[in-house]
Structure 1
Amino acid sequence: MNFSEVIGQDEVRQRLVQMVREDRVPHAMMFCGPHGCGKMAVAMAFASYLLGEGRQPEDGTEMLPESARHNVEAMLAKWSHPDLHFSYPVIRPAGTASEHKMTSDDFGKEWKTMLAEGPYFTIDKWLGAMNAANQQAQIGVGESDSIIRKLSLKSSQGGYKICIIWLPERMNGECANKLLKILEEPPHRTVFMMVCEEPGKLLETIRSRTQRIDIKRIAVEDIARSLVERRLVDEDTAVRIARVADGSWIKAVEELDTGNENRTFLDMFIMLMRLAYKRDIKSLKKWSEAVSGYGREKQKRMLAYFLRLVRENFMYNFRNPELVYMTRDEEDFARNFARFINEANVMELSELFGRAIRDIGQNANSKIVFFDIALNTIVMLVQGSRQ
């Protein structure tokens, strides 16, 4: 994988290449940044670069012989390079013996299948690939034993040995403490790359032994250009999607999916607002029962989406396109609805949905929470209509 396959992030790429030029590659790095910014893509591209795939003579690095370089490229194309190891959270499938210590190797086939689809993915996608159902994935002590064993071996290609740990914050305490030992005294030319969503959950002793690489949100123009070039999207649609994606390639791709979750959320938002405007209590009760059937995580995502639409509809009233981040479908609805979200109710609506997110997170009865939302929305739309 080349850096050219990473969307945007030129500044980070230049920084990493400079480390190689100056022969000061850290033995442990932690890639951090917002969801969908391409942390994993950067780590995988840099690992490929260190192992020889992308080196250029002007970088001041030793150029691999052509035959050897083609061999490396072939191995990396399938993510089967013997000196590149991946570590990631896994589940314990039903029927697995309790004495078996789960490791990444138990799901190696599923992992490579997912990587073959691209370096931009979510934990939900990975859980689906493992058929996790309601199980939570974690990195257990068996994984730290496996990492130590693999990295103790001599490099098969005579260069770096690299371990990419995806979501290290999901390590349990025993695993984290064992891994700490090898981080303190790593084998020669061994590089750890931790791709982290929530660095604050990692042990402070681990964080202090890594060099943090902060990755910013992807620029709107980079997402838009990639949508045009990679997905053949027309320029106007690409710019709209890029603005709504808020620096996340994953969100941008989701917007292209006609059955994506946000379209369902938009339908539910429109239904709530129309029923509340008509003061149709009976139908609002059915609405609240329908959304209470969603899982709690989906309910929180939907409420966060509602919060965003409240903000966007309020900003739409200023008639400044630079302030509005909506898809074409969202804007079509806002054209007639936005006037009902104004100074009289925007704060109250925002607090209503924010409070509901908190209540759902604290396991409140979702039917009561959503029916309360429905009734309060009636009152707040009345306030807005008087403005």
Structure 2
Amino acid sequence: MLYEQIVGQEEPKHRLLKMVKEERVPHALLFSGKEGCGNLPTAIAFSQHLYCTDKKETGACGICVSCNKVSKLIHPDLHLVFPIAKSKEVKSSNDLIKEFREAVLQNPYLTLNGWFNEISAENKQPLIPVEEANDILKKLSYTSYEGSYKIMLIWQPEKMNAESANKLLKILEEPPEKTIFILVSNNPEQLLATISSRVQQIPFYSNSEEEITNALIANYKVNADVAKQTAILANGNYSEALSLLTQNEESVSFLSNFQTFMRLALKFDCGKALNWIDENATSGREKQKQFLQYSLEVFRDSLMFNYGDKNLVRLSGSEKDFLIKFAPFVNKKNYEKLVEEFNSNYYYIERNANPKILFMDLILKTNELINLK
């Protein structure tokens, strides 16, 4: 993984380049940012940069023996720790290292849900147990295989239980020589304060729509309109953008589904509503969340079209044509309530609420709101 393969994040990359160039690398770093920001691939790129035997101004060379090993996640001094679903067969990351390598190599923007889907543990609790802390202490007690840095890359460290985290406090504060901890977190506020105080934080930010659009066009050769629409739906999450492309390579438009929903909400028809609910209730949680996210984008653009600068409307093409007709139904009286209802449903879908009940309730409430006089 090279820095140039990471979408955006110019400031963190610049800081890391400077650290390596000046040979002032802290012993413990926290790469913090929301899901899909790219902190995991950047941690891998940083590790590759540190191990590279022919460093360039822009980072690792990408072709030396060390770079090849890191690019395959098999460098003997790069240790990977990640959440597991603990069982009789699985007690630490060592038991799933092969599966984790494959998952990250396939998608460096791997999410926790994506990882647990990979290991068929969607309904289990992700955990970095105390056995993992014991393994970390054991691995770091050995000398490095290749006489360079020992890197302990911990993905999702907020999933450490208190016992596991407390075992690492001393070594985090005073690690062995040439040992570097890289903690990669999507929820740094969930870390123990005693852990946070021992690391230097490097914040990562959500990618802009322009950055995601350009990356999708460059890396996946998608149509510019599709790339832009994907970026809008992804809401700064590049991992979500990739998921959207995977699910529907030709088009990521939810326009038709949204139109149907709004027609049902405007003039309620029980039979047709039940058909729509049955179809969407079986579409899967991610699709349901994406529909709700898309709806929120339409409401936002409708309000902007009605009361703001029309140049700030992000929808284009056939979506914008629809927006011109639909925008009058969104106004100052109902906008906040509509956003509240769709946000609430997004929250409940994430927590496995019954989608049939949620969508029926949503249609009825939307009917009431868009018919407000």
TM range (shorter): 0.7 to 0.9
2:138 is the counterpart of 1:138 = no
**Aligned equivalent of 1:350, options 318, 333, 339:** 339
Structure 2 unaligned spans of 5+: none
Structure 2 counterpart SS, 1:139: coil
Q: What is the CA–CA distance in structure 2 between the aligned matches of 1:363 and 1:235, rounded to whole Å?
A: 34
Structure 2 counterpart SS, 1:213: strand
1:375, distance to aligned residue in structure 2 (A)? 1.6
1:178, distance to aligned residue in structure 2 (A)? 1.2
Structure 2 counterpart SS, 1:25: coil
Name 2:327's counterpart in structure 1: 338
Distance 1:47 1:291, change over 3 A: same
Distance 1:159 1:135, change over 3 A: same
* Aligned pairs for 1:256-275 within 5 A: 256-259=245-248, 268-275=257-264
Q: Deviation per CA, 1:244-294, whole angstroms, max 9, x where unpaired?
A: 43333223323433538x959655533321112222133324544655567
Contact 1:31 1:196 in 2 (8 A): yes
* Aligned pairs for 1:14-163 within 5 A: 14-52=14-52, 55-56=55-56, 70-92=64-86, 96-97=87-88, 102-163=91-152
Contact 2:229 2:253 in 1 (8 A): no
Name 1:249's counterpart in structure 2: 238
Residue type at the aligned position of 2:188: P
2:159 is the counterpart of 1:167 = no
Distance 1:9 1:362, change over 3 A: closer
Q: Deviation per CA, 1:45-65, whole angstroms, max 9, x where unpaired?
A: 111111126623x69x9x99x
Contact 2:84 2:90 in 1 (8 A): no
Distance 1:258 1:140, change over 3 A: closer
Q: Deviation per CA, 1:34-77, whole angstroms, max 9, x where unpaired?
A: 22111111111111111126623x69x9x99x9xx722122122
Contact 2:129 2:161 in 1 (8 A): yes
Q: Deviation per CA, 1:130-160, whole angstroms, max 9, x where unpaired?
A: 1114222211111111111111111111111
Q: What is the CA–CA distance in structure 2 between the aligned matches of 1:210 and 1:158, rounded to whole Å?
A: 24
Structure 2 counterpart SS, 1:114: helix
1:306, distance to aligned residue in structure 2 (A)? 3.2
Contact 1:165 1:193 in 2 (8 A): yes
1:189, distance to aligned residue in structure 2 (A)? 0.9
Residue type at the aligned position of 2:21: R
Q: What is the CA–CA distance in structure 2 between the aligned matches of 1:333 and 1:258, rounded to whole Å?
A: 24
TM-score where L is the length of structure 2:
0.86
Residue type at the aligned position of 2:46: F
Number of residue-to-residue matches in the alignment: 372
Report the more deviating stretch, 332-341 or 321-330: 321-330
2:365 is the counterpart of 1:382 = no
Contact 2:44 2:70 in 1 (8 A): no
1:366, distance to aligned residue in structure 2 (A)? 5.5
* Aligned pairs for 1:226-237 within 5 A: 226-237=215-226
Structure 2 counterpart SS, 1:165: strand
Contact 1:101 1:141 in 2 (8 A): no
Structure 2 counterpart SS, 1:257: helix
Q: What is the CA–CA distance in structure 1 between the aligned matches of 2:122 and 2:35, rounded to whole Å?
A: 22
Residue type at the aligned position of 1:277: L
Q: Percent identity?
A: 38
Contact 2:69 2:75 in 1 (8 A): yes
Q: What is the CA–CA distance in structure 1 between the aligned matches of 2:347 and 2:45, rounded to whole Å?
A: 38
Structure 1 unaligned spans of 5+: none
Distance 1:361 1:110, change over 3 A: closer
Q: Deviation per CA, 1:284-336, whole angstroms, max 9, x where unpaired?
A: 24544655567778766654443333223332445855422337564454343
Root-mean-square deviation over aligned CA pairs:
3.2
Contact 1:288 1:374 in 2 (8 A): no
Name 2:201's counterpart in structure 1: 212
Q: What is the CA–CA distance in structure 1 between the aligned matches of 2:83 and 2:209, rounded to whole Å?
A: 31
Structure 1 counterpart SS, 2:23: coil
Distance 1:113 1:327, change over 3 A: farther
Structure 1 counterpart SS, 2:64: helix
Name 2:180's counterpart in structure 1: 191
Q: What is the CA–CA distance in structure 1 between the aligned matches of 2:243 and 2:286, rounded to whole Å?
A: 17
Contact 1:48 1:54 in 2 (8 A): no
Structure 1 counterpart SS, 2:328: helix
Contact 1:2 1:54 in 2 (8 A): no
Q: Deviation per CA, 1:7-40, whole angstroms, max 9, x where unpaired?
A: 2222211111212233321111111122211111
Q: What is the CA–CA distance in structure 2 between the aligned matches of 1:214 and 1:118, rounded to whole Å?
A: 21
Distance 1:367 1:237, change over 3 A: closer
Q: What is the CA–CA distance in structure 2 between the aligned matches of 1:349 and 1:133, rounded to whole Å?
A: 31
Structure 1 counterpart SS, 2:371: helix
Contact 2:77 2:144 in 1 (8 A): yes
Report the more deviating stretch, 300-309 or 39-48: 300-309
Distance 1:212 1:322, change over 3 A: farther
